[in-house]
Chain A
Amino acid sequence: GAGVSQSPSNKVTEKGKDVELRCDPISGHTALYWYRQSLGQGLEFLIYFQGNSAPDKSGLPSDRFSAERTGGSVSTLTIQRTQQEDSAVYLCASSPLQGPSGNTIYFGEGSWLTVV
């Protein structure tokens, strides 16, 4: 597709279960980002992948959170042993990092996670 694609769009899970959220960035975009947005709040940086460089994981809130990016394209954000405070919208974004608009960051529609 033309934009950043995320799945699932909605996920309800029981406390303690693991969840995986998937992101397909815009084709050709070198950089991929994960953000989290709690209800009525701004966006919180989680992790940033840039090409083949080591990811910037400085925003991950705990060791229950991890992310990988395979083949420089698709990324998966994994939350282990989910807690109720993990309930939020998880937003993926990508940017080309090249050209006059290289730093423009485009977001997907998000994966709405509810932990019950």
Chain B
Amino acid sequence: GESVGLHLPTLSVQEGDNSIINCAYSNSASDYFIWYKQESGKGPQFIIDIRSNMDKRQGQRVTVLLNKTVKHLSLQIAATQPGDSAVYFCAETGGTSYGKLTFGQGTILTVHP
């Protein structure tokens, strides 16, 4: 079936480094993608989103890149901080039912001081 998956389950970086978290999706009909950050014991926190008519979108310290040709999504975090340590999920949806997000399994980001 259709799925969204992550290439790397864990990522460990030093404080100040840039982090890149990758995600592959298989549903070519997906047209809206979201990255969420989830800290231990908390609900997913919206980070940034991107629509399929774009290939790049920037936020504060974060950039999402979308490559529709290879169905690949990435989240770049600049100058990673210990507070960025969390599980990061990509999610995709499309069509008329935007609430039916399909989530990847998540990538654990650990930032060492």
Contact sample, A vs B, 19 pairs, CB 8 Å cutoff: A4-B43, A33-B99, A33-B101, A42-B89, A43-B44, A43-B103, A45-B99, A45-B100, A45-B102, A56-B97, A58-B100, A59-B100, A93-B99, A103-B32, A103-B49, A103-B98, A104-B46, A107-B45, A110-B42
Chain A: interface residue total (CB-CB under 8 A): 26
Interface residues of A in 47-62 (CB under 8 A from B): 48, 50, 56, 58-59
Q: Beyond the given A103-B98, A107-B44, A110-B43, could you list 18 further A-B residue pairs with CB under 8 A, ordered by the A residue number?
A: A4-B43, A31-B98, A42-B104, A43-B91, A43-B103, A44-B103, A45-B101, A45-B102, A48-B97, A48-B99, A48-B100, A50-B99, A56-B97, A56-B100, A91-B43, A103-B32, A108-B43, A109-B42
Q: Select which of A31, A42, A50 is within 8 A of B106 by beta carbon.
A: A42
Which residues of B38-92 have CB atoms within 8 Å of chain A's CB atoms?
A: 42-46, 49, 89, 91
* Interface range on chain B (Cβ under 8 Å from partner): 20 to 34
